[in-house]
Structure 1
Amino acid sequence: MACLSLPVRRRTLAGLAAVLLAPALAVPAMAADALRIGGTGAALAVADALGKAFAAGRPEVEITVLPSLGSSGALRALADGAVELAIAARPLKPEERAAGLDAVLFARTPFVFVTARPSAQPLDSAALAALYADPAPHWADGTPLRIVLRPETDSDSTLLAERLPGMAGALALARRRPEVPVAATDQDNLRIAQEMPGSLTAATLLQLLGEGADLRLLPLDGVAPGLEALEAGRYPLFKELYLVTRRDAGPTTRAFLAFLASDRARTILRRAGGLPLL
Protein backbone atom coordinates (compact mmCIF):
# COMPACT_ATOMS: atom_id res chain seq x y z
CA MET A 1 0.00 0.00 0.00
CA ALA A 2 1.36 3.37 -1.02
CA CYS A 3 2.28 5.68 1.80
CA LEU A 4 1.95 9.48 1.63
CA SER A 5 4.97 11.52 2.50
CA LEU A 6 4.59 13.95 5.43
CA PRO A 7 4.33 17.17 3.34
CA VAL A 8 1.75 15.60 1.01
CA ARG A 9 -0.27 14.28 3.97
CA ARG A 10 -0.30 17.75 5.55
CA ARG A 11 -1.49 19.31 2.30
CA THR A 12 -4.22 16.70 1.95
CA LEU A 13 -5.48 17.14 5.52
CA ALA A 14 -5.44 20.91 5.16
CA GLY A 15 -7.50 20.70 1.97
CA LEU A 16 -9.98 18.33 3.64
CA ALA A 17 -10.32 20.69 6.61
CA ALA A 18 -10.97 23.63 4.30
CA VAL A 19 -13.76 21.72 2.55
CA LEU A 20 -15.37 20.66 5.82
CA LEU A 21 -15.11 24.10 7.40
CA ALA A 22 -16.31 26.11 4.40
CA PRO A 23 -20.06 25.88 5.22
CA ALA A 24 -19.45 26.85 8.84
CA LEU A 25 -17.33 29.83 7.85
CA ALA A 26 -20.09 31.05 5.52
CA VAL A 27 -22.57 31.30 8.42
CA PRO A 28 -22.24 34.04 11.09
CA ALA A 29 -21.11 32.76 14.44
CA MET A 30 -24.25 34.14 16.10
CA ALA A 31 -27.44 35.27 14.43
CA ALA A 32 -28.79 38.54 15.78
CA ASP A 33 -31.89 38.47 18.00
CA ALA A 34 -34.42 40.24 15.80
CA LEU A 35 -37.07 42.49 17.28
CA ARG A 36 -39.40 43.96 14.68
CA ILE A 37 -41.74 46.72 15.85
CA GLY A 38 -44.77 48.01 13.96
CA GLY A 39 -47.76 50.11 14.84
CA THR A 40 -49.39 53.49 14.83
CA GLY A 41 -47.33 56.11 13.03
CA ALA A 42 -47.58 58.41 16.04
CA ALA A 43 -45.18 56.18 17.96
CA LEU A 44 -42.57 55.35 15.30
CA ALA A 45 -40.02 58.02 16.21
CA VAL A 46 -40.08 57.31 19.93
CA ALA A 47 -40.05 53.55 19.26
CA ASP A 48 -36.86 54.05 17.24
CA ALA A 49 -35.28 56.09 20.04
CA LEU A 50 -36.24 53.51 22.66
CA GLY A 51 -35.03 50.67 20.45
CA LYS A 52 -31.63 52.27 19.98
CA ALA A 53 -31.29 52.85 23.73
CA PHE A 54 -32.18 49.21 24.44
CA ALA A 55 -29.80 47.85 21.78
CA ALA A 56 -26.86 49.93 22.99
CA GLY A 57 -24.41 47.47 24.54
CA ARG A 58 -26.39 44.50 23.18
CA PRO A 59 -24.64 43.66 19.88
CA GLU A 60 -26.70 40.50 19.50
CA VAL A 61 -29.96 42.49 19.30
CA GLU A 62 -31.19 43.84 15.98
CA ILE A 63 -34.22 46.16 16.23
CA THR A 64 -36.21 47.26 13.19
CA VAL A 65 -39.03 49.81 13.35
CA LEU A 66 -41.23 49.31 10.32
CA PRO A 67 -42.94 52.15 8.44
CA SER A 68 -46.44 52.99 9.63
CA LEU A 69 -48.67 49.91 9.56
CA GLY A 70 -51.42 51.54 11.60
CA SER A 71 -52.80 49.92 14.72
CA SER A 72 -54.95 47.30 13.01
CA GLY A 73 -52.29 46.47 10.41
CA ALA A 74 -49.64 46.01 13.08
CA LEU A 75 -51.91 43.78 15.15
CA ARG A 76 -52.57 41.57 12.14
CA ALA A 77 -48.84 41.42 11.44
CA LEU A 78 -48.19 40.47 15.07
CA ALA A 79 -50.77 37.68 15.02
CA ASP A 80 -49.15 36.36 11.81
CA GLY A 81 -45.64 36.50 13.28
CA ALA A 82 -44.42 39.25 10.92
CA VAL A 83 -43.48 41.50 13.88
CA GLU A 84 -42.63 40.75 17.51
CA LEU A 85 -44.17 43.90 19.03
CA ALA A 86 -47.04 46.17 18.03
CA ILE A 87 -47.83 49.65 19.34
CA ALA A 88 -51.56 50.33 19.03
CA ALA A 89 -53.60 53.48 19.54
CA ARG A 90 -56.59 51.50 20.79
CA PRO A 91 -57.38 48.58 23.11
CA LEU A 92 -57.54 45.07 21.73
CA LYS A 93 -60.77 43.73 20.30
CA PRO A 94 -62.10 40.40 21.64
CA GLU A 95 -61.11 38.58 18.46
CA GLU A 96 -57.56 39.92 18.74
CA ARG A 97 -57.26 38.61 22.27
CA ALA A 98 -58.64 35.30 21.04
CA ALA A 99 -55.82 35.25 18.47
CA GLY A 100 -53.28 35.07 21.33
CA LEU A 101 -52.42 38.73 21.77
CA ASP A 102 -51.93 40.58 25.07
CA ALA A 103 -51.84 44.37 25.57
CA VAL A 104 -50.63 46.69 28.29
CA LEU A 105 -51.26 50.44 28.51
CA PHE A 106 -47.91 52.06 27.79
CA ALA A 107 -48.23 55.83 27.46
CA ARG A 108 -50.57 58.79 27.18
CA THR A 109 -49.81 61.82 24.99
CA PRO A 110 -51.64 65.10 24.39
CA PHE A 111 -53.75 65.15 21.23
CA VAL A 112 -53.06 68.58 19.79
CA PHE A 113 -54.03 70.95 17.01
CA VAL A 114 -51.18 72.34 14.91
CA THR A 115 -50.66 74.74 12.03
CA ALA A 116 -47.99 75.84 9.57
CA ARG A 117 -48.82 79.48 10.35
CA PRO A 118 -45.95 81.37 11.98
CA SER A 119 -48.13 82.39 14.92
CA ALA A 120 -50.42 80.32 17.13
CA GLN A 121 -54.09 81.29 17.34
CA PRO A 122 -55.98 79.91 20.35
CA LEU A 123 -58.88 77.57 19.58
CA ASP A 124 -62.21 77.14 21.33
CA SER A 125 -63.36 73.51 21.52
CA ALA A 126 -67.01 74.60 21.34
CA ALA A 127 -66.35 76.39 18.03
CA LEU A 128 -64.21 73.74 16.34
CA ALA A 129 -67.15 71.87 14.79
CA ALA A 130 -68.38 75.02 13.08
CA LEU A 131 -64.85 75.67 11.84
CA TYR A 132 -64.55 72.19 10.29
CA ALA A 133 -68.05 72.37 8.80
CA ASP A 134 -67.50 75.81 7.23
CA PRO A 135 -66.97 75.47 3.44
CA ALA A 136 -64.66 78.53 3.45
CA PRO A 137 -63.08 78.82 6.92
CA HIS A 138 -60.71 81.64 7.82
CA TRP A 139 -58.29 82.42 10.62
CA ALA A 140 -58.94 85.46 12.81
CA ASP A 141 -56.81 87.66 10.53
CA GLY A 142 -58.93 86.72 7.51
CA THR A 143 -56.43 84.38 5.81
CA PRO A 144 -57.76 81.01 4.56
CA LEU A 145 -57.81 78.13 7.02
CA ARG A 146 -57.17 74.79 5.34
CA ILE A 147 -57.97 71.67 7.33
CA VAL A 148 -56.33 68.27 6.88
CA LEU A 149 -58.44 65.19 7.61
CA ARG A 150 -57.60 61.60 8.48
CA PRO A 151 -59.50 58.53 7.17
CA GLU A 152 -62.94 58.08 8.67
CA THR A 153 -61.96 54.87 10.47
CA ASP A 154 -58.68 56.22 11.83
CA SER A 155 -58.34 56.60 15.59
CA ASP A 156 -57.69 60.35 15.20
CA SER A 157 -61.06 60.82 13.50
CA THR A 158 -62.78 58.71 16.14
CA LEU A 159 -61.23 60.75 18.95
CA LEU A 160 -62.33 64.06 17.43
CA ALA A 161 -65.86 62.78 16.82
CA GLU A 162 -66.22 61.40 20.34
CA ARG A 163 -64.55 64.14 22.38
CA LEU A 164 -65.63 67.40 20.72
CA PRO A 165 -69.28 68.51 20.51
CA GLY A 166 -70.77 68.40 17.02
CA MET A 167 -67.54 67.20 15.44
CA ALA A 168 -68.90 63.94 14.01
CA GLY A 169 -71.28 65.83 11.73
CA ALA A 170 -68.68 68.48 10.94
CA LEU A 171 -66.17 65.87 9.82
CA ALA A 172 -68.79 64.26 7.58
CA LEU A 173 -69.45 67.63 5.92
CA ALA A 174 -65.74 68.34 5.49
CA ARG A 175 -65.24 64.99 3.73
CA ARG A 176 -67.66 66.10 1.00
CA ARG A 177 -65.39 68.97 -0.02
CA PRO A 178 -63.01 67.77 -2.76
CA GLU A 179 -60.35 70.34 -1.91
CA VAL A 180 -59.88 68.97 1.64
CA PRO A 181 -56.95 66.52 1.76
CA VAL A 182 -57.21 63.22 3.64
CA ALA A 183 -53.86 62.04 5.01
CA ALA A 184 -53.52 58.26 4.83
CA THR A 185 -50.87 57.98 7.56
CA ASP A 186 -49.67 59.95 10.57
CA GLN A 187 -46.53 60.88 8.64
CA ASP A 188 -48.57 62.09 5.65
CA ASN A 189 -50.65 64.18 8.03
CA LEU A 190 -47.71 66.21 9.33
CA ARG A 191 -46.08 66.42 5.91
CA ILE A 192 -49.21 67.87 4.30
CA ALA A 193 -49.75 70.25 7.21
CA GLN A 194 -46.17 71.55 6.92
CA GLU A 195 -46.47 72.09 3.17
CA MET A 196 -49.93 73.70 3.18
CA PRO A 197 -50.17 77.44 4.05
CA GLY A 198 -52.81 78.13 6.69
CA SER A 199 -53.11 74.46 7.60
CA LEU A 200 -54.95 73.05 10.60
CA THR A 201 -54.71 69.43 11.63
CA ALA A 202 -54.71 67.27 14.74
CA ALA A 203 -51.89 64.96 15.82
CA THR A 204 -50.17 63.69 18.94
CA LEU A 205 -47.52 65.66 20.77
CA LEU A 206 -45.48 62.43 20.78
CA GLN A 207 -45.25 62.40 16.99
CA LEU A 208 -44.80 66.16 16.67
CA LEU A 209 -41.79 66.27 18.99
CA GLY A 210 -40.42 62.90 17.98
CA GLU A 211 -40.28 63.84 14.30
CA GLY A 212 -39.33 67.48 14.86
CA ALA A 213 -42.17 68.76 12.67
CA ASP A 214 -42.07 72.46 11.77
CA LEU A 215 -45.57 73.22 13.06
CA ARG A 216 -47.00 75.45 15.78
CA LEU A 217 -49.02 74.11 18.71
CA LEU A 218 -52.38 75.82 19.23
CA PRO A 219 -53.78 76.42 22.73
CA LEU A 220 -57.18 74.82 23.29
CA ASP A 221 -59.68 76.57 25.57
CA GLY A 222 -56.88 78.78 26.84
CA VAL A 223 -54.54 75.91 27.75
CA ALA A 224 -51.25 75.29 25.96
CA PRO A 225 -50.84 71.55 25.28
CA GLY A 226 -48.08 69.78 27.19
CA LEU A 227 -47.38 66.94 29.59
CA GLU A 228 -47.69 69.13 32.67
CA ALA A 229 -51.12 70.41 31.60
CA LEU A 230 -52.21 66.86 30.78
CA GLU A 231 -51.02 65.50 34.13
CA ALA A 232 -52.79 68.33 35.97
CA GLY A 233 -56.04 67.60 34.14
CA ARG A 234 -56.12 71.04 32.51
CA TYR A 235 -55.61 69.86 28.93
CA PRO A 236 -58.57 67.68 27.89
CA LEU A 237 -57.51 65.73 24.78
CA PHE A 238 -55.11 62.80 24.74
CA LYS A 239 -54.40 59.48 23.06
CA GLU A 240 -53.38 56.29 24.79
CA LEU A 241 -50.86 53.84 23.39
CA TYR A 242 -50.74 50.11 24.05
CA LEU A 243 -47.84 47.66 23.79
CA VAL A 244 -49.08 44.41 22.27
CA THR A 245 -47.27 41.08 22.18
CA ARG A 246 -48.06 37.46 21.46
CA ARG A 247 -48.51 35.29 24.53
CA ASP A 248 -45.57 33.20 23.34
CA ALA A 249 -43.29 36.25 23.04
CA GLY A 250 -39.58 35.44 23.05
CA PRO A 251 -36.95 36.52 25.57
CA THR A 252 -35.75 39.54 23.56
CA THR A 253 -39.27 40.95 23.34
CA ARG A 254 -39.83 40.41 27.06
CA ALA A 255 -36.48 42.02 27.88
CA PHE A 256 -37.45 45.06 25.80
CA LEU A 257 -40.76 45.35 27.66
CA ALA A 258 -38.89 45.27 30.96
CA PHE A 259 -36.55 48.00 29.66
CA LEU A 260 -39.54 50.23 28.83
CA ALA A 261 -40.39 50.38 32.55
CA SER A 262 -36.87 51.62 33.41
CA ASP A 263 -36.00 55.20 34.39
CA ARG A 264 -33.95 55.62 31.22
CA ALA A 265 -36.86 54.63 28.97
CA ARG A 266 -39.29 56.80 30.92
CA THR A 267 -36.98 59.80 30.47
CA ILE A 268 -36.78 59.23 26.70
CA LEU A 269 -40.55 58.92 26.50
CA ARG A 270 -41.22 62.10 28.48
CA ARG A 271 -38.77 64.13 26.40
CA ALA A 272 -40.62 62.96 23.29
CA GLY A 273 -44.00 64.10 24.63
CA GLY A 274 -45.30 60.88 26.17
CA LEU A 275 -46.52 60.33 29.72
CA PRO A 276 -45.14 56.95 30.89
CA LEU A 277 -47.73 54.60 32.37
CA LEU A 278 -45.65 51.46 32.97
Structure 2
Amino acid sequence: MGLYRGVLLFGLAIGLLAVPAHAEPIRAAGTGMGLALVRLLAERYQQDHPGISVWIPESVGTAGAVRGLQSGKVDVGILARPLKPGEVEGGVSHLVCRTPLVFFTNAARQDVTLGRSDLAALFGNSLPAFPKGEVRALLRPASDAGFVHLIEIYPDLAPAVSAARDARGANLALTDQDAMEAVEISRSLVAFGAFAPLVAEKRKLVAVPLDGVMPGVDTLESGRYPHALPLVLGLAPKASAEARAFVDFARSPAAATLLRANGCLPGGSP
Protein backbone atom coordinates (compact mmCIF):
# COMPACT_ATOMS: atom_id res chain seq x y z
CA MET A 1 0.00 0.00 0.00
CA GLY A 2 2.84 2.37 0.90
CA LEU A 3 4.69 1.71 -2.36
CA TYR A 4 1.51 2.22 -4.40
CA ARG A 5 0.88 5.48 -2.54
CA GLY A 6 4.42 6.64 -3.30
CA VAL A 7 4.20 5.79 -7.01
CA LEU A 8 0.83 7.50 -7.28
CA LEU A 9 2.10 10.56 -5.41
CA PHE A 10 5.16 10.79 -7.66
CA GLY A 11 2.99 10.51 -10.79
CA LEU A 12 0.57 13.16 -9.59
CA ALA A 13 3.32 15.53 -8.49
CA ILE A 14 5.37 15.30 -11.67
CA GLY A 15 2.22 15.45 -13.78
CA LEU A 16 1.11 18.62 -12.03
CA LEU A 17 4.48 20.20 -12.71
CA ALA A 18 3.57 20.20 -16.39
CA VAL A 19 0.42 22.27 -15.78
CA PRO A 20 1.17 25.93 -16.56
CA ALA A 21 0.47 28.39 -13.74
CA HIS A 22 -0.49 32.00 -14.20
CA ALA A 23 2.78 33.28 -12.73
CA GLU A 24 5.18 30.66 -14.17
CA PRO A 25 6.49 29.59 -10.76
CA ILE A 26 9.90 28.10 -10.17
CA ARG A 27 9.18 24.36 -9.94
CA ALA A 28 11.24 22.74 -7.15
CA ALA A 29 10.78 19.07 -6.28
CA GLY A 30 12.65 16.22 -4.67
CA THR A 31 13.57 14.55 -1.41
CA GLY A 32 11.34 14.84 1.63
CA MET A 33 14.28 15.67 3.87
CA GLY A 34 14.63 19.05 2.15
CA LEU A 35 11.03 20.06 1.45
CA ALA A 36 10.39 22.11 4.59
CA LEU A 37 13.76 23.86 4.36
CA VAL A 38 13.25 24.80 0.72
CA ARG A 39 9.72 26.01 1.49
CA LEU A 40 11.10 28.24 4.24
CA LEU A 41 13.79 29.52 1.87
CA ALA A 42 11.12 30.20 -0.75
CA GLU A 43 8.99 32.16 1.71
CA ARG A 44 11.97 34.30 2.65
CA TYR A 45 13.02 34.79 -0.97
CA GLN A 46 9.53 35.79 -2.07
CA GLN A 47 9.40 38.51 0.57
CA ASP A 48 12.15 40.34 -1.32
CA HIS A 49 10.99 39.19 -4.77
CA PRO A 50 7.19 39.53 -4.74
CA GLY A 51 6.89 38.78 -8.45
CA ILE A 52 8.48 35.34 -8.03
CA SER A 53 6.72 32.21 -6.74
CA VAL A 54 8.18 28.82 -5.94
CA TRP A 55 5.96 25.74 -6.25
CA ILE A 56 7.00 22.69 -4.21
CA PRO A 57 4.93 19.47 -4.28
CA GLU A 58 5.12 16.65 -1.75
CA SER A 59 8.13 14.33 -1.78
CA VAL A 60 9.10 12.65 -5.04
CA GLY A 61 12.53 11.64 -3.72
CA THR A 62 15.98 12.37 -5.07
CA ALA A 63 15.33 9.96 -7.95
CA GLY A 64 12.16 11.86 -8.85
CA ALA A 65 14.05 15.15 -8.80
CA VAL A 66 16.66 13.72 -11.16
CA ARG A 67 13.98 12.49 -13.57
CA GLY A 68 12.26 15.87 -13.38
CA LEU A 69 15.51 17.68 -14.23
CA GLN A 70 16.12 15.27 -17.10
CA SER A 71 12.65 15.89 -18.55
CA GLY A 72 12.64 19.64 -17.93
CA LYS A 73 9.57 19.40 -15.67
CA VAL A 74 11.60 20.44 -12.62
CA ASP A 75 13.53 23.73 -12.50
CA VAL A 76 15.27 23.07 -9.17
CA GLY A 77 15.92 19.54 -7.97
CA ILE A 78 15.96 19.03 -4.18
CA LEU A 79 18.55 16.31 -3.66
CA ALA A 80 20.08 14.31 -0.83
CA ARG A 81 23.30 13.91 -2.82
CA PRO A 82 25.15 15.69 -5.64
CA LEU A 83 24.22 14.83 -9.20
CA LYS A 84 26.27 11.95 -10.58
CA PRO A 85 28.44 12.58 -13.67
CA GLY A 86 26.25 12.40 -16.77
CA GLU A 87 23.06 11.90 -14.74
CA VAL A 88 21.60 15.18 -16.02
CA GLU A 89 23.55 16.15 -19.12
CA GLY A 90 24.96 19.61 -18.51
CA GLY A 91 23.23 19.86 -15.12
CA VAL A 92 24.92 21.22 -12.03
CA SER A 93 24.39 20.64 -8.31
CA HIS A 94 25.07 23.07 -5.49
CA LEU A 95 25.57 22.12 -1.85
CA VAL A 96 23.33 24.25 0.38
CA CYS A 97 23.93 22.77 3.82
CA ARG A 98 24.56 19.58 5.78
CA THR A 99 22.20 18.15 8.37
CA PRO A 100 22.96 15.49 10.99
CA LEU A 101 21.79 11.97 10.22
CA VAL A 102 20.07 10.83 13.39
CA PHE A 103 18.01 8.19 15.09
CA PHE A 104 14.84 9.78 16.39
CA THR A 105 11.86 8.89 18.57
CA ASN A 106 8.57 10.29 19.76
CA ALA A 107 9.31 13.33 21.95
CA ALA A 108 7.89 11.45 24.94
CA ARG A 109 10.71 8.86 24.69
CA GLN A 110 13.65 10.90 25.86
CA ASP A 111 14.83 7.88 27.81
CA VAL A 112 16.28 6.31 24.65
CA THR A 113 20.02 6.52 24.07
CA LEU A 114 22.04 4.45 21.62
CA GLY A 115 25.63 3.41 21.14
CA ARG A 116 27.30 1.93 18.10
CA SER A 117 27.20 -1.48 19.79
CA ASP A 118 23.38 -1.27 20.15
CA LEU A 119 22.52 -0.88 16.47
CA ALA A 120 22.56 -4.50 15.34
CA ALA A 121 20.28 -5.40 18.26
CA LEU A 122 18.00 -2.46 17.42
CA PHE A 123 17.46 -3.71 13.86
CA GLY A 124 17.20 -7.28 15.13
CA ASN A 125 14.43 -6.31 17.60
CA SER A 126 16.55 -7.69 20.45
CA LEU A 127 17.60 -4.48 22.19
CA PRO A 128 16.90 -4.52 25.95
CA ALA A 129 14.06 -2.30 27.11
CA PHE A 130 14.67 1.29 28.23
CA PRO A 131 13.00 2.77 31.35
CA LYS A 132 9.83 3.63 29.40
CA GLY A 133 9.72 0.38 27.44
CA GLU A 134 11.02 -1.43 24.40
CA VAL A 135 11.81 0.16 21.04
CA ARG A 136 11.94 -1.23 17.52
CA ALA A 137 13.39 0.12 14.29
CA LEU A 138 11.31 1.71 11.56
CA LEU A 139 12.83 0.84 8.21
CA ARG A 140 13.13 2.83 5.00
CA PRO A 141 13.56 1.54 1.43
CA ALA A 142 17.00 0.26 0.48
CA SER A 143 17.39 3.23 -1.89
CA ASP A 144 16.79 5.83 0.86
CA ALA A 145 19.80 8.15 1.03
CA GLY A 146 19.96 8.07 4.82
CA PHE A 147 19.98 4.28 4.97
CA VAL A 148 22.50 4.07 2.15
CA HIS A 149 24.76 6.34 4.20
CA LEU A 150 24.12 4.33 7.37
CA ILE A 151 25.43 1.17 5.68
CA GLU A 152 28.40 3.10 4.30
CA ILE A 153 29.25 4.23 7.84
CA TYR A 154 28.61 0.84 9.45
CA PRO A 155 28.95 -1.82 6.72
CA ASP A 156 28.69 -4.62 9.27
CA LEU A 157 25.06 -3.56 9.88
CA ALA A 158 24.05 -4.61 6.36
CA PRO A 159 23.06 -8.20 7.32
CA ALA A 160 20.94 -7.02 10.27
CA VAL A 161 19.17 -4.37 8.17
CA SER A 162 18.63 -6.82 5.29
CA ALA A 163 17.22 -9.43 7.65
CA ALA A 164 14.90 -6.84 9.18
CA ARG A 165 13.59 -5.93 5.73
CA ASP A 166 12.98 -9.60 4.95
CA ALA A 167 11.21 -10.24 8.25
CA ARG A 168 7.48 -10.70 7.99
CA GLY A 169 5.62 -7.68 9.29
CA ALA A 170 8.63 -5.35 9.31
CA ASN A 171 7.64 -1.68 9.56
CA LEU A 172 8.56 0.32 6.45
CA ALA A 173 8.08 4.03 5.70
CA LEU A 174 8.42 5.17 2.10
CA THR A 175 9.12 8.89 2.59
CA ASP A 176 10.68 11.09 5.27
CA GLN A 177 7.23 12.48 6.05
CA ASP A 178 5.76 8.96 6.37
CA ALA A 179 8.56 8.07 8.80
CA MET A 180 8.08 11.16 10.94
CA GLU A 181 4.30 10.68 11.08
CA ALA A 182 4.69 7.02 12.06
CA VAL A 183 7.07 7.84 14.91
CA GLU A 184 4.93 10.75 16.14
CA ILE A 185 2.01 8.41 16.81
CA SER A 186 4.12 5.60 18.29
CA ARG A 187 5.83 5.27 21.66
CA SER A 188 8.03 2.38 20.52
CA LEU A 189 9.40 3.21 17.05
CA VAL A 190 12.91 4.51 16.39
CA ALA A 191 13.60 5.85 12.90
CA PHE A 192 16.77 6.93 11.14
CA GLY A 193 16.93 9.99 8.91
CA ALA A 194 17.76 13.66 8.52
CA PHE A 195 17.61 16.01 11.50
CA ALA A 196 16.54 19.17 9.63
CA PRO A 197 12.94 18.14 8.82
CA LEU A 198 12.32 17.31 12.49
CA VAL A 199 13.10 20.96 13.28
CA ALA A 200 11.75 22.68 10.16
CA GLU A 201 8.42 20.82 10.28
CA LYS A 202 8.13 21.37 14.06
CA ARG A 203 7.60 17.67 14.64
CA LYS A 204 6.92 16.19 18.08
CA LEU A 205 10.10 14.16 17.77
CA VAL A 206 13.50 14.14 19.42
CA ALA A 207 16.93 13.11 18.16
CA VAL A 208 18.56 10.25 20.08
CA PRO A 209 22.07 10.71 21.53
CA LEU A 210 24.55 8.42 19.80
CA ASP A 211 27.61 7.27 21.75
CA GLY A 212 26.85 9.98 24.29
CA VAL A 213 26.74 12.84 21.77
CA MET A 214 23.52 14.76 21.09
CA PRO A 215 23.12 15.38 17.35
CA GLY A 216 22.72 18.99 16.27
CA VAL A 217 24.19 21.76 14.16
CA ASP A 218 26.70 22.73 16.87
CA THR A 219 28.02 19.19 17.42
CA LEU A 220 28.15 18.62 13.67
CA GLU A 221 30.12 21.85 13.20
CA SER A 222 32.56 20.97 15.99
CA GLY A 223 33.10 17.47 14.62
CA ARG A 224 31.80 15.78 17.76
CA TYR A 225 28.87 14.36 15.80
CA PRO A 226 30.26 13.01 12.51
CA HIS A 227 27.26 11.72 10.52
CA ALA A 228 25.60 14.10 8.06
CA LEU A 229 23.58 14.21 4.87
CA PRO A 230 23.91 17.04 2.33
CA LEU A 231 21.02 19.13 1.07
CA VAL A 232 21.82 19.83 -2.58
CA LEU A 233 19.93 21.89 -5.15
CA GLY A 234 20.30 20.77 -8.76
CA LEU A 235 19.79 22.81 -11.91
CA ALA A 236 19.22 21.67 -15.47
CA PRO A 237 21.53 23.16 -18.15
CA LYS A 238 18.76 25.44 -19.45
CA ALA A 239 17.56 26.56 -16.04
CA SER A 240 15.89 29.95 -16.03
CA ALA A 241 17.55 33.03 -14.58
CA GLU A 242 14.88 33.01 -11.86
CA ALA A 243 15.72 29.42 -10.85
CA ARG A 244 19.44 30.21 -10.77
CA ALA A 245 18.83 33.31 -8.67
CA PHE A 246 16.79 31.31 -6.15
CA VAL A 247 19.57 28.71 -5.82
CA ASP A 248 22.11 31.51 -5.38
CA PHE A 249 19.98 32.92 -2.57
CA ALA A 250 19.75 29.50 -0.87
CA ARG A 251 23.56 29.41 -0.73
CA SER A 252 24.01 33.03 0.36
CA PRO A 253 24.81 34.49 3.80
CA ALA A 254 21.26 35.88 3.83
CA ALA A 255 19.89 32.32 3.99
CA ALA A 256 22.49 30.93 6.39
CA THR A 257 20.76 31.97 9.63
CA LEU A 258 17.47 30.40 8.53
CA LEU A 259 19.20 27.14 7.56
CA ARG A 260 21.13 26.92 10.79
CA ALA A 261 18.04 27.63 12.89
CA ASN A 262 16.31 24.72 11.18
CA GLY A 263 18.95 22.07 11.71
CA CYS A 264 21.15 22.41 8.64
CA LEU A 265 24.76 23.65 8.74
CA PRO A 266 25.43 26.03 5.80
CA GLY A 267 28.42 25.47 3.54
CA GLY A 268 31.00 22.75 3.90
CA SER A 269 31.42 19.80 1.58
CA PRO A 270 29.13 16.83 0.92
The TM-score normalised by the length of structure 1 is 0.83
Q: Among 193, 196, 199, which residue is 2:189 paired with?
A: 199
> Which consecutive residues of structure 1, in runs of 5 or more, have no partner in the other structure?
1-30
**Is 1:248–2:246 an aligned residue pair?**
no
Q: Aligned to 2:124, which of 133, 136, 139?
A: 133
- In the alignment, what sits opposite 1:266? 256
Instruction: Give per-residue Cα distances to partners, 1:45-84, cap 9 Å, x unaligned.
Output: 0100100111114232121111101001111111111110
2: distance between equivalents of 1:149 and 1:168?
13
Which structure has the larger Rg? 1
CA separation of 1:120 and 1:165: change in aligned 2, threshold 3 A = farther
Mean Cα displacement is larger for which, 61-70 or 174-183? 174-183
Q: Is the 8 A contact 1:149 1:180 kept in 2?
A: yes
Alignment partners' CA distance in 1, 2:225 and 2:175 = 25
Instruction: Indicate if the aligned counterparts of 1:126 and 1:165 stay in contact, CA closer than 8 A.
Output: no
How far did 1:155 drift?
1.0
Q: How does 1:117-128 map to 2 (within 5 A)?
A: 117-128=108-119
Structure 2 gap ranges (5+): 1-21
Partners in 1 of 2:180 and 2:229 — Cα distance? 17
Say which SS state the counterpart of residue 120 (structure 2) adopts.
helix
Alpha-carbon spacing, 1:165–1:246, altered in 2? closer, same or farther (3 Å):
closer
Provide the alpha-carbon RMSD of the alignment. Answer: 1.7
Q: 1:71 aligns with which of 62, 84, 102?
A: 62
2:225 aligned to which of 235, 245, 260: 235
1:54 aligns with 2:36: no
Given the two structures, how large is their TM-score scaled by the length of structure 2? 0.86
DSSP-derived class of the 2:53 partner:
strand
Quick check: 2:29–2:59 contact (8 Å CA) kept in 1? Answer: yes
Percent pairwise identity: 35
Is 1:170 matched with 2:160? yes
Of residues 76, 83, 89 in structure 2, which corresponds to 1:85? 76
1:156 equivalent in alignment to 2:156? no
Q: Is the 8 A contact 1:149 1:183 kept in 2?
A: yes
